[in-house]
Structure 1
Amino acid sequence: MADHSLLAWTLLSVGLVLTPGPDTMLVAGHAARGGVRAGLAAVSGVALGGLWYMALCGFGFLAVLTVFPALFTVVKTAGAIYLAWLGYKLIRGAVRPAPAATTAAPALGKPFWQGLLTTALNPKVALFFLAILPQFVGTGPEAPLKGALLIAVPYVLGAFWLAGVAFVAARAGRAAKQSSAMRWIEGVLGVAFVGLAGRLALARNT
């Protein structure tokens, strides 16, 4: 790949990473409520979701979503339901806060799996790669492998960005826990997740 094409893809990846989405909100929410370790666990799940898309592209399966509209609808619906469920739980926690937490370290499996599923069940990400990658890798026999390597770029950049989000959100969360601000944060995040679920449900396979 020419240097100018790689630079263009990197700049595009930076824009994609800095655009707020479910990954950013999920990491921020877990870090604010459970600390840096919980936020970084969610980052790890998001990164593994990126490996999932790399594998799909490398083996040529990514285009299946456009070939079979029914499959796209199934994945889209599952993703929308999952985001809506996360939003509902956040809103419920804001309205009916749980008893004061103990000093025990939070479990890290939950944020990890939520980060993975939030990424893997978002077919809009797959459609974005399908629409953009051919302009950078062409259509030759090596295109899937090149595409898989390019998909790694936004997820590597995103891991650093989300780690920074986790540290900032954890610090803000420690201060918010001493007031009622945490309930407002959870409520806003919950509404945002429900809104993202609605947008995903209305997404079209185009």
Structure 2
Amino acid sequence: MTPEIWITLAAANFAAYLAPGQNMALVGAATARSGLPGGLSAVGGILMAEFVWTAAALGLTLTAREIDGNVMLALQVSGGTYLVWSGWKVLNSPPSPEMAVLGASGGCFRNAFMGLWVGLANPLALVFFVSIFPGLVSAMAGETPLNLLAFCGTAVLVSSLAALAPYLVVSQVLVRAGQARRLNALSGGALLFVGLAAIAWTAAA
């Protein structure tokens, strides 16, 4: 375990996060509905999902197992379906601009829970942790599982937070400018689009 491997893993995850997608959309929707506390809660839920993905990918790598192709397809379709449902729900629940500016504390747990599930349903995370992640950590197979989890987990979580932070800041600026409803509509539409795209891509594969 070297700093070079940590930086490589963090950079690869950061690059995967830079493309606008469902995580960005959820952060925007949560901020539009519950202000900065809601956005932070959604980010926290997404980071929990990233940790779960890291632990699962490490388990598969250390035991030299691969996900069955049919299981992979089922995960992609179910993840896309959940994103479509989430986007539809966001679009049909317009926020109150006043509550968004003040910060609705009651929705923080709900936003964190949704962040967890959207993070787990992330089709890009599935591809990254199943296809790219094992190659980055295979050279460290001799380390103990807990050391590997701490090493890889910090790289993934720090880079994920760094990639999500700009979206959180921009979302809060838009809410402060009175654009909560537009932000919510864009975020819900993005969730819906990403979910449909994931299902279509899986069907075409």
Match of 2:11 in 1: 11
Q: What is the CA–CA distance in structure 2 between the aligned matches of 1:61 and 1:89, rounded to whole Å?
A: 36
Secondary structure at 2:107's aligned position in 1? coil
Match of 1:92 in 2: 92
Give the alignment's TM-score, normalised by structure 1.
0.77
Distance change >3 Å, CA 15–CA 139, structure 1 → 2: closer
Structure 1 vs Structure 2 CA RMSD: 3.4
Match of 2:152 in 1: 150
Shift of 1:83: 0.9
Q: Is the contact made by 1:13 and 1:154 (CA closer than 8 Å) also made in structure 2?
A: yes
Shift of 1:88: 1.1
Matched, 1:130 2:130: yes
Q: What is the CA–CA distance in structure 2 between the aligned matches of 1:74 and 1:139, rounded to whole Å?
A: 30
Equivalenced residue count is 200
Q: What is the CA–CA distance in structure 2 between the aligned matches of 1:183 and 1:168, rounded to whole Å?
A: 14
Q: Is the contact made by 2:28 and 2:184 (CA closer than 8 Å) also made in structure 1?
A: no
Give the alignment's TM-score, normalised by structure 2.
0.78
Match of 1:165 in 2: 167
Q: What is the CA–CA distance in structure 2 between the aligned matches of 1:172 and 1:163, rounded to whole Å?
A: 14
Distance change >3 Å, CA 31–CA 101, structure 1 → 2: closer
Secondary structure at 2:60's aligned position in 1? coil
Q: How does 1:39-188 map to 2 (within 5 A)?
A: 39-60=39-60, 66-94=66-94, 105-138=105-138, 141-142=141-142, 145=145, 148=149, 149-176=151-178, 181-188=179-186
Q: What is the CA–CA distance in structure 1 between the aligned matches of 2:129 and 2:143, rounded to whole Å?
A: 12
Secondary structure at 1:158's aligned position in 2? helix
What does the per-residue CA deviation read over 1:132-172, in whole Å, with 9 as the maximum and x for residues that have no partner? 23432337743894764335413222224424432431232
Match of 1:202 in 2: 200
Shift of 1:71: 2.1
Q: What is the CA–CA distance in structure 2 between the aligned matches of 1:5 and 1:114, rounded to whole Å?
A: 31
Instruction: After superposing the two structures, state which structure 1 stretch, 181-190 or 54-63, moved more.
Output: 54-63
Distance change >3 Å, CA 117–CA 157, structure 1 → 2: same
Segments of structure 1 that go 5 or more residues without pairing to the other structure are: none
Shift of 1:52: 0.6
Q: Is the contact made by 1:63 and 1:130 (CA closer than 8 Å) also made in structure 2?
A: no
Report sequence identity in percent: 22
Shift of 1:19: 2.1
Q: Give 1 or 2: higher helix fraction.
A: 2
